[in-house]
Chains A and B, each alone.
Chain A
Amino acid sequence: MPHIDFKNDLPGIRSAMAFRPETAAPLSALAEVLMRSDEGLTRLEREIIGTYVSHLNDCFYCNHSHAAIACIYADGDSQMIDSVRADYTSAPISNKLKALLAIAAKVRKSGKLVQAEDVEKARMEGATDKDVHDTVLIAAAFSLFNRYVDGLATTTPADMTSYSVRARQVADHGYGAHIYSPNPMKAK
């Protein structure tokens, strides 16, 4: 049961955002600009970083929600997403993304762990300053989202098919207000 009465039946972060739309607005604006930009990192790479951090933080809701979104961007290649979570160093992804995931994993623990040589390694694989910036901010943002979702003990849907349904809505419509509006996508 959630730690507070959200006054709605939405799952995960959506319940907390609907409870407090004033803070939901900048949070979803951040997700939209950070996760849906194709400048530098692709949407798929961004979602992989978000998924990986949520997986390491053992945040079930964020992990499965973002894995499902990544899966759509990867044209249904869920095996690739699974292999990143199991051991990204041997996953079929670019060396650049591997170097960025190493940075993200450090940021998850503490920003102070990121060393100049980690950034240098990413740069040698072709990462730009903006790629490094976005990686650090995505990992930091999921350090927020994961804590927000679990710190209030939000509801986690047990029906695993629900994650891909929501993921499709995010892939099509982005991280807009439909995230925290009840039943926004109800068929007309």
Chain B
Amino acid sequence: MAHIKVEEGVPGIRSLVLFRPETGKPLYELAQVLLRGESSLTEAERELIAAYVSSRNQCSFCMNSHAAAARCLYEDDHMMVDDVLNDMQASRLTEKLKALLNIAGKVQVSGKAVLQEHIDEAKKSGASDREIHDTVLIAAAFSMFNRYVDGLASLTPSDPAVYKEMGTRMAAGYRLPQKSIT
């Protein structure tokens, strides 16, 4: 059960932003611009960074939902998502994406863990300043979302089918959920 009184049956962050839409609005706007806005990283790649960080934080709700969104966006290549979550270095990802995920993994631990050599590695494989910026911010943002979702013990569904449906909806974009009118 959640630590605070949220709408029953509503999972994860949705229950929290329905509880407090004033803070929910900028949170969803951040997710939308960061994961769906104009970028040289594909939406699938950005969702993969989100799922990777959430997996390292063991945030089951964020990991499962963003992995589902990434699978949906990777379409025929959806196996990529599970390969990366199982063993990022052994996956078929490009060197650039591996270097960016490596930076994301450092940010997950601490911003200070990102060293010049990690940045050099990413730049050497073709990452732009903007891509490095967005990777750091996505990893930082999921360091927030994961703590928000788990820190208030929001509902985490266990049925994979729920996440599949969620992922399809998320692939279309992030819009602040509205209270259902009964």
Provided the pairs A114-B3, A148-B137, A150-B112 are in contact, do residues A143 and B26 lie with their beta carbons within 8 angstroms?
Answer: no
Q: Chain A interface residue count: which class?
A: 35 or more
- If A3-B132, A143-B140 are given as contacts, then 13 extra A-B residue pairs at C-beta distance below 8 Å, sorted by A number, are A23-B34, A23-B134, A26-B29, A29-B29, A30-B30, A106-B151, A110-B147, A130-B4, A137-B20, A145-B140, A147-B110, A147-B140, A151-B111
| A163–B137 alpha-carbon span in the complex (Å) | 24
Structural contact, B37 and A22, CB atoms closer than 8 A = yes
Structural contact, A130 and B3, CB atoms closer than 8 A = no
Structural contact, A114 and B133, CB atoms closer than 8 A = no
The chain B residues found within 8 Å of chain A, CB to CB, are 3-5, 16, 19-20, 22-23, 25-27, 29-30, 33-34, 37-38, 57-59, 103, 106-107, 110-112, 114, 116, 119, 129-130, 132-134, 136-137, 139-141, 143-153
Structural contact, B23 and A137, CB atoms closer than 8 A = yes
Q: Does A173 contact B (CB under 8 A)?
A: no
Interface centre among A58, A103, A140 (most CB of B within 10 A): A140
Provided the pairs A4-B133, A23-B33, A151-B114 are in contact, do residues A133 and B4 lie with their beta carbons within 8 angstroms?
Answer: yes
9 inter-chain pairs at a CB distance below 8 angstroms, sorted by A residue, are A3-B114, A4-B132, A16-B133, A20-B134, A23-B33, A110-B147, A114-B150, A132-B152, A140-B145
Structural contact, A133 and B136, CB atoms closer than 8 A = no
| A99–B3 alpha-carbon span in the complex (Å) | 14
Structural contact, A143 and B143, CB atoms closer than 8 A = yes
Q: Does A158 contact B (CB under 8 A)?
A: no
Kindly list chain B residues whose C-beta atoms are within 8 Å of the C-beta of A129.
Answer: 4-5, 19
The chain A residues found within 8 Å of chain B, CB to CB, are 3-5, 16, 19-20, 22-23, 25-27, 29-30, 33-34, 37, 57-59, 103, 106-108, 110-112, 114, 116, 119, 129-130, 132-134, 136-137, 139-141, 143-153
- A120 to chain B minimum Cβ distance, whole angstroms, is 9
- B75 to chain A minimum Cβ distance, whole angstroms, is 26
| A6–B149 alpha-carbon span in the complex (Å) | 32
Kindly list chain A residues whose C-beta atoms are within 8 Å of the C-beta of B112.
Answer: 58, 150-151
From the candidates A19, A26, A133, A146, name the one contacting B111 in the complex (CB within 8 A): A146
Kindly list chain A residues whose C-beta atoms are within 8 Å of the C-beta of B116.
Answer: 3
| A110–B109 alpha-carbon span in the complex (Å) | 11
Kindly list chain B residues whose C-beta atoms are within 8 Å of the C-beta of A4.
Answer: 119, 129, 132-133
Structural contact, A153 and B114, CB atoms closer than 8 A = yes
Q: Which residue of chain B lies nearest to A129 when distances are taken between CB atoms in the complex?
A: B4
Kindly list chain A residues whose C-beta atoms are within 8 Å of the C-beta of B59.
Answer: 111
From the candidates A107, A111, A151, name the one contacting B136 in the complex (CB within 8 A): A151
Provided the pairs A143-B144, A151-B139 are in contact, do residues A111 and B16 lie with their beta carbons within 8 angstroms?
Answer: no
| A148–B112 alpha-carbon span in the complex (Å) | 10
Structural contact, A136 and B148, CB atoms closer than 8 A = yes
Structural contact, B58 and A152, CB atoms closer than 8 A = no
From the candidates B5, B26, B119, B143, name the one contacting A147 in the complex (CB within 8 A): B143
